Amino acid sequence: MGIKVDPKKCVSCMACEMACGYHRDDGFALLSSCIMVTRGREKRDYSAVVLKEEENLVIARPEGLEVRKLGSGGEADQSKGKEDASAKPLLLREPCDLCSDREDGPLCLQFCPADAISLG
Amino acid sequence: MEYLSTNKIAIVDLTNSKVSDQELDKELVKEKIGGAGITTALYEEYQKEDPVILGTGLLTGTLVPASALSIITAKSPLTGKVCHAPITLYAGIELKYSGFDYVVIKGNSSKPVYLWIHDGIADLKEANEIWGKDVWESTDFIRELMGDPLIQILGIGKGGESGSDFGQVCINYWASGDRWGFGKLFGQKKLKLVALRGMSLLEIADPEEFVRECKELLSTIKKGSFAGKKGIGELSAALGEDIRKWLEPIVHRHLSCFNTSFPTNTFVFLDEEPKRLKETDKEEPGFLITDLYGLLGFKKLGLSASDTCALLRESAKYGMDAVAVAELSQKAGKKKPDEIKKTLSGLKGALESLGKGKFSPWCPSFNLSTDEWERRQAVAYLFGIHPIFALMSPELSEEKLIELANLGTGLAFTAETLDKVIADILK
Ligand code: SF4
Ligand code: SF4
C-alpha cells in the first residue's frame, strides 16, 4: 500500500507538498514534506512528483514511473539518470508514513485538486 | 502578528541603500485585514517617497484553495492612480515564505540594484551585470548565481529599463498581470528585480479546524462548474471566445498557480513536438501563457497560434505588456510578426484597454457589473486568493473567507470589517 501519483493529471499546484508539510509541522511550511513537485526545469515545462518512501524514491514522471532504491544512508541510486536538483532535500527528510495517525488518511490525497493522487 | 504570518515588514530605502525591518502590528491586521488593505496603508504612510509595496494576502500560501496571490501596490505611471497588480504562479507564496509579509521599496537608487529577499533577510545588491539583460537572461543569471532554480523573480527587461509606459514587472520568464506600467516604475528606481526564496513556517491559531474547513471547501469547489476543465482555452471559451481548436495543436500542458484547482496557465511548445512527454533537450522550447488578453490581442490580428505565442514570448523577454503591444500594433496597421516585434522598442500610444479602477484588468469580468467585479477583486486581493479563480468559484464566499481568517489567526474579523476595508481601498 502506498501513495500513487498520476502525472498526466497533475497540474503542478504544490497542494500535496503543502498538505504533507502541514502533516509534519502542524503549520504551513515546505521544510519537511516527503512529497514534492520538481520545479527546476521551468523553461522546459518538465516536472515530476517525487515521493520519499521508507526504501524507495518514487518519481512520477510524465512519461512513466521510476522507482529508485534508497541506500542505507538514505541516498538514491543515481545510476538511472540525473535527478532534478530541486528534489535533493527530500532525501534528508522522513519518509512517507501514509499519515497513519490521521483518521481521514493521507492528507496529500485529500488536497490534490486534480485527483492525481490515489492509494494503491 | 502571530499566525499565518512571518510577522515582518521590510523597509528598503533605495536612495540611501538601507534596509531595515519592523514587526507587523496585529492592530494593523485587525483593522486592514491584509493584502491590498495593508499595502494601501503602507503606500499612504510612505507616499512622499513614491513607494512600491509588495504584499501578501492574509491567507496566502496556506491550504485555503487558490491562496496563491501576493500583490504589487504603487502609483501607476499609466493612470496616475494607486493600483494593484497580481503576483501569481509560485511567486505569490514565495514572498511569504521568504520571511516577509510586506516589503516597502521607497526612493530611487542612483545605480542599478536588485533586491534579494531570502529566509527573513532582505539584501540590496548591485545589478550592473544584469542591467540591460532581458527578463529571461536575468532570471537565469540570478538562479545560476545563487545555485537555486526555485528562486522566484519579479523583474523587468528593456521595456521597464528604457522607461516605456508599457514596461511590465514579469514573473520569472512569464508575463504577469501588471497592466499598470509598474515595470517603468522599477526602471525609474533602477531596481532590476526582486528575487525571492525562503522556508518559513506559518503557525495557525486553530490548525485542525482550519484545515478541516479548507478540505470541505475544496470538496465543494471540486463539484463546481469548472471541475475537470483546464487551461487558458477553456477559460476563454467560458468567457464566450472559443479558441480551443486554434490553440490546441501547440498545447503541451496546463499548469496551476499554487494550490489553485483550475489551471489558468497553459504551456505551449513552439520549437518542440507539443505532445512530447519526455524532457526535451531544447533549452527554450516554448512559452507559458499566463495572460488571456495578450493572447487574444495577437489572435485578433489574424496571427496563427504559433506566431501569437512567439510574440508573447518576445514581449515577455523584453518585459512589455503584450496587451499594449497587440493593441498598438493593430492601431498602427502592423500585422506581420516581424513588424510587431520591431515595435517593442519605443512603443507609444494611448490604450483603450487601460484599466479604469484599482485592480488589474488582467482578470476577466465574467459578465459581472463593474461594482460586483471590483468587490470580488478586492476580496481576492485582501485575502490572497487567485483573482481569476475567485470569480470562477463562488464557493470561496466572503463568509467562508472571514471564517477561515478567524480560525487561522484567532482574530475576530466580521462582515463589517470587510465592508469597511473594501470601502477604504476603493475610495
Ligand atoms: S500520505 Fe501523508 S506522509 Fe505520505 S506523502 Fe501524503 S501527506 Fe505526506
Ligand atoms: S496536489 Fe495533485 S495536482 Fe497538485 S502537484 Fe500534487 S499531485 Fe499534482
Predicted local confidence at residue A72, as pLDDT: 65
Say which amino acid occupies A25: D
Three-class SS state of B297: helix
Tens-place pLDDT, residues B261-300: 999 999 999 999 999 999 999 999 999 999 999 999 999 9
Residue A82 above 60 pLDDT?
no
- Model confidence at A78, pLDDT cuts 50, 70, 90, reads low
Residues 86-125, chain B: which have Cβ within 8 Å of A? 90, 97
Decide: A47 and A38 in contact? Cβ < 8 Å. Answer: yes
The complex scores an ipTM of 0.96
Closest atom of ligand 2 to CA, residue A15:
1
Q: Which residues of B touch A111 (CB under 8 A)?
A: 63, 214-215, 218, 259
Helix B305-318 / helix B135-146 crossing angle, nearest 10 deg: 60
Q: Does the distance separating the beta carbons of A19 and B269 come in below 8 Å? A: no
pLDDT digits (tens, 9 = 90+) for B356-390: 999 999 999 999 999 999 999 999 999 999 999 99
CB < 8 Å to B277, chain A: 61-63
The span from the CA of B382 to the CA of B29, in Å, is 11
User: Does A37 contact ligand 2 (Cβ within 6 A)?
Assistant: yes
In this predicted structure, what is the pLDDT of residue B184?
98
| In contact, B312 and B267? CB cutoff 8 Å | no
What are the grid coordinates assigned to B276, written together? 512530447
Residues 227-256 of B with CB under 8 A from A: 230, 252-256
Cα of B213 vs centre of ligand 2, distance in Å, is: 19
Distance CA B20, CA A55 (A): 46
- The grid cell for B12 is 528598503
Domain B1-226+353-427: give its CATH superfamily: Aldehyde ferredoxin oxidoreductase, N-terminal domain (3.60.9.10)
B63 and A25 within 8 Å at the Cβ level: the answer is no
List the grid coordinates of B173.
520568464
Q: Is the pLDDT of residue A81 over 70?
A: no
Q: Closest by alpha carbon to B386, among B57, B134, B17? A: B57
Residues A18, A112: Cα–Cα separation, whole Å: 10
Amino acid B144 reads E
Identify all chain B residues contacting A63, using CB atoms and an 8 Å cutoff: 277-278
Per-residue pLDDT, A88: 81
Q: Is residue B390 classed as helix, strand or coil in its secondary structure?
A: helix
pLDDT at A89: 86
Residue matched to cell numbers 485587525: B30
The minimum CA-CA distance between B80 and chain A, rounded to whole Å, is 35
Question: Does residue A12's CB lie within 6 angstroms of at least one atom of ligand 2?
Answer: yes
Q: Which residues pair with B106 in a beta bridge?
A: B13
Helix (H) or strand (E) holding B269: strand B265-269
| Alpha-carbon span A101 to B390, nearest angstrom | 33
- Euclidean distance between CA atoms B243 and B292, whole angstroms: 11
CA distance A14 to chain B (A): 6
> How far off is chain A from B259, nearest CA to CA, in Å?
5
- The mean pLDDT value of chain A amounts to 90
pLDDT, residue A79, reads: 47
Residue ranges in chain B modelled with pLDDT below 70: none
Can you tell me whether residue A49 is helix, strand or coil? strand
- Give the residue extent of every domain in chain B: 1-226+353-427, 232-346
pLDDT of A83 strictly over 80:
no
Which three three-digit cell numbers place residue B343? Answer: 515595435
A16 pLDDT above the threshold of 90: yes
Position in ligand 2 atom list of the atom nearest CA A19: 1
- Atom 2 of ligand 1 has which residue's CA nearest to it? A99
Whether B359 and B368 have beta carbons less than 8 Å apart is answered as: no
DSSP B261: S
Classify residue A1 by its DSSP letter. Answer: -
What distance in angstroms lies between residue A34's CA and the mean position of ligand 1's atoms?
7
Cross-strand pairs, B155? B170, B193
How far apart are the two ends of chain B, measured CA to CA in Å?
A: 27
- B387 by DSSP, 3-state: which? helix
Contact B3, B203 (CB under 8 A): yes
Distance CA A109, CA B184 (A): 43
Is the CB of A59 within 6 Å of ligand 2? no
